[in-house]
């Protein structure tokens, strides 16, 4: 069944319809008469609401003032939310990787370098910038009897090194 509506269109509660509903200029208001607006799929596990442009099926939009979900929101990789490319949103911290002091590395992703220096006398320092060797000091710690530590964020593609440090770990943010 296919219905085309140019003005107001009212259906009674409990009525069912299959096939497309084509509307003119008016928006669609759906109510179930008891709990306010509702759009319900059928009982199939694949039930979904598909909103797409009639003439261009690759486009379509849905404006929601409040969204409540009982399950995960799945967004295709590379699609946009308010200008943010969701494929670039980091998922989680990766596995820490041990690093050596006074050694230059290039960050393959955004991440953090974590440094602990227990020598009690060194002055550990963290540098990073866009060329070799990195000479822009971003972090520095004064060592004492109980050692020194800091965490330095590093941008993807930048070069970094830690001067001194008895334990240094690279913690990547996985894309």
Q: Which residues are near another protein by CB under 8 A?
A: 100, 102-106, 108, 120-123, 130-133, 135, 142-145, 159, 161
Count of CA atoms in the C-beta half-sphere (13 A) of 29: 8
Q: Which is nearer to another protein, 26 or 106 (CB)?
A: 106
Cα 147 from chain centroid? Answer: 36
Q: Which is nearer to another protein, 53 or 119 (CB)?
A: 119
Closest separation in Å from C-beta 109 to another protein: 13
Closest separation in Å from C-beta 119 to another protein: 9
* Residue 74: strand, helix, or coil: coil
Q: Which is nearer to another protein, 114 or 158 (CB)?
A: 158
Q: Please provide residue 168's backbone torsions phi and psi, each rounded to the nearest 5 degrees.
A: -130, 130
Cis peptide, bond prior to residue 133, ω within 30 of zero:
yes
CA–CA separation, 127 and 133 (whole Å):
9
CA–CA separation, 49 and 39 (whole Å):
8
CA–CA separation, 122 and 21 (whole Å):
73
Q: Which is nearer to another protein, 46 or 131 (CB)?
A: 131
Closest separation in Å from C-beta 77 to another protein: 25
Q: C-alpha distances in angstroms, 163 versus 8, 68, 96, 105, 166?
A: 72, 49, 19, 12, 10
Q: Which is nearer to another protein, 53 or 132 (CB)?
A: 132
Closest separation in Å from C-beta 135 to another protein: 7
Closest separation in Å from C-beta 80 to another protein: 30
């Amino acid at each position: 069944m296919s219905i085309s509506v140019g003005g107001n269109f009212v259906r009674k509660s409990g009525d069912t319809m299959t096939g497309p509903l084509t509307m003119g200029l008016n928006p669609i208001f759906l109510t179930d008469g008891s709990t306010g607006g509702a759009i319900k799929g059928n009982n199939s596990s694949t039930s979904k609401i598909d909103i797409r442009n009639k003439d261009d099926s690759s486009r379509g939009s849905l404006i929601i003032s409040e969204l409540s979900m009982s399950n995960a929101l799945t967004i295709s990789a590379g699609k946009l939310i308010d200008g943010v490319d969701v494929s670039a949103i980091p998922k989680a911290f990766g596995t820490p990787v041990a690093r050596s002091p006074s050694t230059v590395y290039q960050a393959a992703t955004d991440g953090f370098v974590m440094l602990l220096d227990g020598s009690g006398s060194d002055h550990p320092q963290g540098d990073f910038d866009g060329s070799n060797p990195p000479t822009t000091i971003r972090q520095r710690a004064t060592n004492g009897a109980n050692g020194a530590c800091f965490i330095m964020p590093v941008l993807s593609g930048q070069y970094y090194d830690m001067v001194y440090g008895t334990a240094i770990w690279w913690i990547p943010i996985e894309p």
